[in-house]
Amino acid sequence: MKSLSEQIERLNEDMVRTNILSPKNNLLFWMVYFLIDYVSSLLIDPDQVELFSSLFNFIFVLIFFYGTCFVVIPRSIPLKNKRYILLKFILLLVIIIQLKWLLMPSVVAMEMPYLKFFMIELIRCFHFSILAALVCFILISFKKLKEQYSIQLAARQAELAQYQLMMNPHFIANGLNAIQSDFILGDARAKDNLVTFTEMLTYCFTNSTQKIIKLSEELACIEKFIQFQKHRYGKKLHLSYELKDEAQYCSVLEIPKMTLLTLVENVFKHGRVNDQNCAPIIQISILPDEKYITVLVAIKNAVNENNKAVISSKSGFLAVSHILKSYFDDRYDLSYFSQGDLFTLNLILKYER
């Protein structure tokens, strides 16, 4: 009794073979094969070649090929009982040659002795077997590579979705804590801040399946987030935009959702934003040149003593790095380091023109 996993594996292999070796999927291949065979025969001996006889030979090639694939080879791969398979292959070969010998006189005049005919067809079949095995190996390998790529891509997308879900709860929790503090302290702007926070939540969760957004949308949400926090920390935060024609670039460039916002949020989460002598600095610049449009993000902020261990875990930065790696590949660089209580982060994103 085969296990369920073995049955599933064999079923998958049968489906792969059936899909790959079906005449419908290989119509172009067989047309090219017949054309090459017919033209090469014309070049060798044009007086002895007829279209009808070439079609006759081609039909037996198809019978031999698909008979080998679906009758000789067992219903799953890898091959196990090799002697039995070899016996079936020889039997199929003899049957096809004998059938062709019987039908050949009705197609073309033939004065060849049976033994010579048999040897010629035997050599032809083995020659074609090598060619067919090579083609099947290439097709099956390509099919399996394509399936493996699809599986890896689906797993990668699921992993990225998980990383993006990691960012949302932190953002919500920190925002709710800020609103709670406003209401406890009786801040008159608590209602306005709640409205702003609701707008940010709308940005984060509207079209949740939309993972890529315009850079202008991400920057607009960052501005709202900073305004949301700014009443708590005064004017200690400096946000510098060095944009060349914002409408031209920010509305065209795209970026994974909430990546820059997560980096900015970490400033408020772990930074010493109450320190007037070391206010956090966030700079976002867009620098176009002939080949690339480069987005630079530079963040410097002092870190609270009790948050140094949390910063060292890099969970938020790791999530952002994985997402950017997926979309930008080698066209991005995210680096960060701590020197004493000063934390520095630099992000480079390159967009090809």
Question: Quick one: CA torsion of 158, 163, 166, 168, rounded to 10 degrees?
Answer: -90
Residue 221, pLDDT > 80, answer yes
Find, among 236, 237, 208, 209, the residue nearest to 223 by Cα. 237
Paired sense of beta strands 238-242 and 212-214, if any? unpaired
Task: Spell out the domain ranges in the chain.
Answer: 4-111, 154-352
Residue 18, pLDDT > 70, answer no
- Stretch among 27-41, 92-106, 109-123, 239-253 having the lowest mean pLDDT: 239-253
**Could you say which architecture CATH assigns to the domain 154-352?**
2-Layer Sandwich (3.30)
% the chain with pLDDT above 70: 69
Q: How confident is the model at residue 349 (pLDDT cuts 50, 70, 90)?
A: very high
Region 269-278 average pLDDT: 73
Region 51-70 average pLDDT: 79
Alpha carbons within 13 A on the beta-carbon side of 256? 23
d(CA 78, CA 80): 6
Q: What are phi and psi of 299, to 5 degrees?
A: -130, 130
What per-residue confidence (pLDDT) applies to 115?
85
Sign of CA dihedral 233, 236, 237, 243: positive
Residue 235, pLDDT > 70, answer no
Residue 37, pLDDT > 70, answer yes
Region 19-38 average pLDDT: 69
- Stretch among 47-51, 119-123, 346-350 having the lowest mean pLDDT: 47-51
- What radius of gyration, in Å, describes the C-alpha atoms of the chain? 35
What per-residue confidence (pLDDT) applies to 120?
81
pLDDT digits (tens, 9 = 90+) for 86-111: 888 888 888 888 888 888 777 777 67
d(CA 125, CA 269): 73
What per-residue confidence (pLDDT) applies to 144?
77
Q: What are phi and psi of 307, to 5 degrees?
A: -105, 0
